[in-house]
Structure 1
């Protein structure tokens, strides 16, 4: 394996790094999240099992967003009738993330099946321009990674494999993806290369994935291959909420309901459930939102 001398072999925090197999049509991504996990935990106090699960969702969103070829965002979401009714993580093409687990405060289990089993996995790609795309599959296996592997095996996309690990305060992930044929055109050889790379990745333990530096981890797995490891791209927590987006959500309530709230409370208050940012709108702030046919002041 070749590693540029100016890239240290230490473990990075809160970032993503791409790597390429120089002699195979294969690529990969490695993600580590530390401070991002802390930032989310500071906003929401989740049970230990939910925190670990949310870490995996965050890492998965970053890994999958790295496959986007345009500006936008990717959301990994699951719904179930188990201990976690809804959990989601979102990553933008600028590698900013946010996440939430809704209704999970009373969860007591560490088991994926008890937390999310029998639910649905939803992947949503939202480009800044163009139509939103959404894929929905059942949650399968005993982990988020196995459910995502099942999703990609059912799609017509490039073969993709994910490995995820989280201890509640740190999280990490590895993505492997087969590229269109350039270096190898023989289908059987391509499949053999893919199977071998995935088999070696399967020997990686969760603690190793979280704790090892990128170069060390890749050498541990693929020391017989020639790899190119790219520079670190930072990942950070940042909520995408704004006053304009909150107003757009408020508009769905309808004029009369908004007027009733203002009459009872003097203002409409909305809190972002991702970051707890509070938005407050008085009648004067909503003149452009309320129908012009009824401009009488609310008493």
Structure 2
């Protein structure tokens, strides 16, 4: 089954519920990477959060969630575009040892220099136009804590996030209160009652439960007494724009002398995508071909 994001409205239209399942997407994310379980799960939770938040933005571009820290993690980046295509990566500092007990704060904010940045990057950015950036305080022990606070303070939307990840799956549930008006007027007392009831129900969610059952089952367990209005599911997938051609262009920019120097030392050139970790290998013949089309006769002779 393809990964999907599903949306529901409470019958009184006062709040939305969303779930996302990243199973195949998550396997594609991890295909070329080896992460400590603590790092892997943190990246999975952030990936699920990015999809949940990006799906509510009417925007031609990408939502980027970026964590910068001064501890074991130097950088985490998750990007999700309007087609709900995701890519994600972590850069760590080798001098640190990751412990099973580490969490968001110890990994990124031990010296209180950590930063969480939310970026909206338009596809067709005009000259001089800057991407929107919002700085999120690293308050809370989890990604869900930090982002819920951000949504409340910057977007003025009461939001609850429930995120979980392991080696098989990354998943998330979002509960969000909708502003009154803008269509059907919502009775404030009814809306308040719906919100309190929904929060009470979703606060019973445990991460192990999210990972053990499918999202449809979770929604039924939580809201079987509610009349939810379902929306058409949206597909979610992995996407990284790295390619052999892009790596070849990079090697051409290095120049024939540098490429031959690497070959002389290592017999082949191995390049890993900075983002997804996918490996690309160029042997002597592959490397020679890079320079044949635009090479001078002297260079052609030099590369046989």
TM over 0.5: yes
For this pair of structures, how many residues does the alignment match? 279
| Structure 2 match to 1:114 | 106
Distance in 2 (CA, whole Å) between partners of 1:123 and 1:245 is: 27
* Map 1:130-169 → 2, pairs under 5 A: 130=125, 131=129, 132-169=131-168
Q: Deviations over 1:210-245 (max 9, x none)?
A: 233333212221222111223433222220235797
Contact 2:17–2:176 (Cα < 8 Å) also in 1: yes
- Structure 2 distance, partners of 1:99, 1:286, is 35
TM-score by length of 1: 0.77
Q: Which residue of 2 aligns with 1:59?
A: 48
Query: After superposition, where does 1:136-285 map in structure 2 within 5 Å?
Result: 136-180=135-179, 181=181, 182-187=183-188, 189-241=190-242, 261=258, 271-273=272-274, 274-278=276-280
What is residue 44 of structure 1 aligned with on the other side?
Answer: 33
Name the residue aligned to 1:71.
60
> How does the TM-score come out when normalised to structure 2?
0.76
1:279-294 aligned within 5 A: none
- Alpha-carbon spacing, 1:152–1:260, altered in 2? closer, same or farther (3 Å): farther
Specify which of 118, 123, 126 is matched with residue 121 of structure 2: 126
Offset at residue 286 of structure 1 (A): 11
- Deviation (angstroms), 1:147: 0.5
Cα distance change, pair 184–214 in 1 and its aligned pair in 2 (3 A)? farther
Q: Call closer, same or farther: CA 1:178–1:263 in 2, change over 3 Å.
A: same
SS of structure 2 residue aligned to 1:43: coil
- How far apart, CA to CA, are the structure 1 residues paired with 2:124 and 2:176? 26
8 A Cα contact 1:50 1:110, kept in partner: no
How far 1:109 moved relative to its partner? 3.1
Contact persistence 2:79–2:86 (CA under 8 A): yes
Q: Residue 71 of structure 2 contacts residue 93 of structure 2 at CA under 8 Å; is this kept in 1?
A: no
Q: Which runs of 5+ in 2 are unaligned?
A: 264-268
Between the aligned partners of 1:176 and 1:279, the Cα distance in structure 2 is 45
Q: Give the structure 1 partner of residue 266 of structure 2.
A: none
CA RMSD of the aligned region, Å? 3.5
* Cα distance in 2 for residues equivalent to 1:275 and 1:231: 33
Q: CA–CA distance in 2 between the matches of 1:242 and 1:133?
A: 28
CA distance in 2, matches of 1:103, 1:286: 39
Q: What is the DSSP-based 3-state SS (H/G/I as helix, E as strand, rest coil) of the residue aligned with 2:204?
A: coil
Per-residue deviation, 1:191: 3.7
Q: Secondary structure at the match of 1:163?
A: strand
